[in-house]
Structure formats: C-alpha cells, structure tokens
Amino acid sequence: MKKMIAIGLVLLCGILFFSKAEEKKSPPSAEEMRGIFISYIELQKYLQAKSEMEMKQNIQKMIYNVKSIKANTIILHTRMMSDAIYESRLFPFSAYISGEEGKKTLDVLSYFLEEAHRNKVKVMAWINPYRIRGTEDLSTITQYSPAYPYIGTDTIYVHNGIYWNPSKKVVEDLIVEGVKEVLEYPIDGVLMDDYFYPSSDIDLQDYQEYQEKNPISLEDYHFMIVNRLVKRIHEECQKKKIDFGISPDGNIENNYQKHFADIYLWTSNKDYIDFIMPQIYYGFYNSTKAYYKVSKEWSNIIQTPDIKLYIALAFYKVGQEDSYAKEGKLEWITNNDIIMREVLLSRNLRQYHGFSLYRYDSVFAPPEGSNNAIEELENLKKIVK
C-alpha cells in the first residue's frame, strides 16, 4: 500500500512539475483571442427596464471593462430563447432586453458592434439553436414567437424547458435563416454552444419514418441531423467570410452520449467549423477531469490546421466549491491563480489560438467579499499585457 502511495505521489509531482514547466514557455501571440462571454443574464441585469441612454451607457461600460483587461473579443448572447437582441424578421425582440417579448427597444447587437469596433474589440454572435424557453410553461410563448403556431405539436418538445425538435426541416430552415439574418450585421464570428439534442426520444416518429427507407441507428440519425445543420450554417458563414464555431461540452464523452455533437467529424476537415471552443470548466485537481489532461485531449482531437482551438474557462467557479471535482472541490477556494496557469499551459497546445472567460459578471461583478475573484483577475492581467 505504501509503495502504491509513493508511486502516486511521484506521478502527481511529475505532472505538476511538467505543468509548471510548460507554463513558462510560449509568450502570447499578438493573434491570441481573449474573449469574455456576455450572457442573457448580464443583458437582463444591465439593459432591461432602462432608458435608451442608460442602455447605451451600460454597453459602453461593459466594453470599457472588457478592453481594460486586454481582452479583445466579446461573445455576445444574440439569440437565447428563439428571440433576438436586434431587429429581426423571424424572431421576436427579447424580453430579456425590453421586459416583454416582441416589444422593441434599442438594437442591442447594432450598438454593441458600433461601440466595440470603435474600441477595436471584436464581437461574436452567440446563438442557442434549439432552446425556446428555460421553463415548461407554454403560456410564456407569445404570438410573436415562431414557436407559437407549433404549440401542441411534435415540432416542439416540453421537458425541463421547451425546445425545437431538431429533426423537423422547418426548424432547421428557421435556425439557418436566423444565422443568415445575423450575418447581415458586421459581426466577427458566430458561435453555437452545447444546446443540441435536448432528449434522445424527441424525434422518434420522424426517425421511424426515415428508418423505413434508410436503415440507420437512432444515434446515427441524431448525429446526421445535427451535422446537417452545422454544415449548412458553416456554408452561410463562409459566404460572408465569417468564422463559425461551436463551444461543446468540455467532457468529450458527453458530446457523444448526451448532445450528439460529432466533434471528431467537425475537427477532421474544414467543412463544418472554423474553430472549436470546448468548455473546459475544470481545475487542475479535478479528480475525474483534470484541466491538464482534458486540454491535451482536445488539442489532439483536431486533425487539420484549418481548425483553431479556443478554450472556454470557468471564471464563474473562482472562489466557489466545485462539488463535481470530488477531492479537488476546494481548489477554486484555496487558489487564486488557476485561470492564469490554465492560460499559460494552454498556450503550448497544438492549434491553440486563444481563450474566453465565462462570464462577464463573474469577472467584473463577483459576489461581495470575493477576494479570490479580484486576485485571480490581477494574476491573469500579468500575462495578457
């Protein structure tokens, strides 16, 4: 037993030594993407029920804060719940902005782009493709929503939220047309996150009809549906010379077992995405998914130099207990340089081109008394000069 413990300690020390050694390599490239996610949570907090002048002032402040830490990209929640933060022909104006779905106020996307570009900050449009609501309450779907005519049909799915059925052609077309609409703005990229299949039985009827003529497993059918959507969106983005990417679950297995996100296919050629931004929301001492190991796995997945690797990092965990990390659950409380070390380590990964922090308020408005967040940010700033 003592021998096994000794061996384990040697291996752990070796990993930590190697990690520290790699942290000292590779100064940041001038091309490093340094992003901040601005989610619907921030949009609601800083824009809802505000005058147009207040909205503009708050947007200016957010951009100023992003630029103040040498970040250069905002990942802006542009479609959260089949809605829009801009003048859309397809989706209602977001209630997270105006307080009432369909009630128009400031074109938030347009103003963010105007102010960000003036400050030499890029803006990626962040889209949730299939989510309609975070609640099961169908009464929240207004007549302005494209989902309204489909209430009570199998085109939408109700369980732990309300979602579009990915197998419906009308749904696929709506999502693609929505991206084309966003591409009319001078955005710097399009990002979809890991909200893919909300359930493995959402499309059984469509699958059975397809399977009668095309023998295929249900799992492969799901992958086919998602891959078709991803490829179509990429094609539209390429027409405008805009990069398109996906931010999948950091747990590689989950992408195949839960989300039907075919990351191996997407990163094997340039037909699906231009970049991948895995959510590697783990610390170094996570018992099952340690950052060092997972980040290397993601780097090795990419099989073509055409695909850039950006890494989404969990600033929201700073100062918090991470129960999923098991023995490493207190890491984010007892350390204040995790994000800094993750960036340093990542800079040595093949295909690495940048990182993004989830999310804005965790960085700039942490809970009162959260010294970890303040110290973590100060440490990060040391390596992004």
What pLDDT does residue 1 have? 42
Range of lowest pLDDT (22-36, 135-149, 165-179, 225-239): 22-36
Report how far residue 349's alpha carbon sits from residue 4's, in angstroms, rounded to the nearest whole number: 31
Which CA distances in Å does 110 have to 1, 240, 290? 63, 18, 39
What pLDDT does residue 7 have? 37
Q: Which residue has the higher pLDDT, 16 or 34?
A: 34
Within 10 angstroms of residue 12's Cβ, the number of other Cβ atoms is 11
What pLDDT does residue 26 have? 55
Report how far residue 120's alpha carbon sits from residue 87's, in angstroms, rounded to the nearest whole number: 24
Residue 196: band (very low, low, confident or very high) from pLDDT cuts 50, 70, 90: confident
- Token pair, residue 309, equals 């690797």
What pLDDT does residue 3 have? 38
Cβ-Cβ contacts under 8 Å for 64 (sequence gap 6 or more): 119
Q: Per the domain annotation, does 144 fall within a domain?
A: no
What pLDDT does residue 303 have? 96
Residue 23: band (very low, low, confident or very high) from pLDDT cuts 50, 70, 90: very low
Please report, for the domain that includes residue 361, its CATH number: 3.20.20.80
Cβ-Cβ contacts under 8 Å for 235 (sequence gap 6 or more): none
Q: Per the domain annotation, does 344 fall within a domain?
A: yes
Q: Per the domain annotation, does 241 fall within a domain?
A: yes
| Lookup result for tokens 């991803």 | 230
Name residue 307's amino acid. Answer: I
Report how far residue 181's alpha carbon sits from residue 193's, in angstroms, rounded to the nearest whole number: 18
User: What's the average model confidence in pLDDT over 85-89?
Assistant: 98
Percent of the chain residues past pLDDT 70, beyond the cut: 92
Q: Per the domain annotation, does 109 fall within a domain?
A: yes
Report how far residue 226's alpha carbon sits from residue 262's, in angstroms, rounded to the nearest whole number: 8
Report how far residue 137's alpha carbon sits from residue 351's, in angstroms, rounded to the nearest whole number: 43
5, pLDDT greater than 80: no
Which residue range(s) make up the domain with 115?
Answer: 34-129+182-381
- Using one digit for the tens of pLDDT, what is the confidence trace for 26-77? 556 668 999 999 999 999 999 999 999 999 999 999 999 999 999 999 999 9
User: Do residues 297 and 330 make contact, with C-beta atoms less than 8 angstroms apart?
Assistant: no
Which CA distances in Å does 74 have to 26, 63, 135, 141, 191? 24, 8, 27, 29, 11
The pTM of this model reads: 0.93
User: What's the average model confidence in pLDDT over 193-217?
Assistant: 92
Q: What is the dihedral of CA 172, 80, 39, 311, to 10 degrees?
A: -20
User: What's the average model confidence in pLDDT over 314-339?
Assistant: 97
Residue 281: band (very low, low, confident or very high) from pLDDT cuts 50, 70, 90: very high
Q: Per the domain annotation, does 167 fall within a domain?
A: no
Mean pLDDT over each residue of the chain, to the nearest integer: 93
Return the DSSP state at 167: T
3-state secondary structure of 17: helix
Q: Per the domain annotation, does 14 fall within a domain?
A: no
Q: Per the domain annotation, does 3 fall within a domain?
A: no
- Using one digit for the tens of pLDDT, what is the confidence trace for 101-142? 999 999 999 999 999 999 999 999 999 999 999 999 999 999
User: What's the average model confidence in pLDDT over 326-334?
Assistant: 97
What pLDDT does residue 8 have? 44
Element (H, E) at 176: helix 169-182
Per the structure, how many domains does the chain have?
Answer: 1
Q: Per the domain annotation, does 169 fall within a domain?
A: no
What pLDDT does residue 284 have? 98
273, pLDDT greater than 80: yes
The total number of residues shown for the chain amounts to 385
Residue 13: band (very low, low, confident or very high) from pLDDT cuts 50, 70, 90: very low
370, pLDDT greater than 70: yes
| Cis peptide bond N-terminal to 89, omega within 30 | no
- Using one digit for the tens of pLDDT, what is the confidence trace for 314-326? 999 999 999 999 9
Sheet with 131-133, side-by-side order of all strands = 131-133, 162-164, 156-158
User: What's the average model confidence in pLDDT over 82-87?
Assistant: 98
Percent of the chain residues past pLDDT 90, beyond the cut: 89
User: Do residues 237 and 178 make contact, with C-beta atoms less than 8 angstroms apart?
Assistant: no
Q: What is the dihedral of CA 297, 303, 307, 308, to 10 degrees?
A: 30
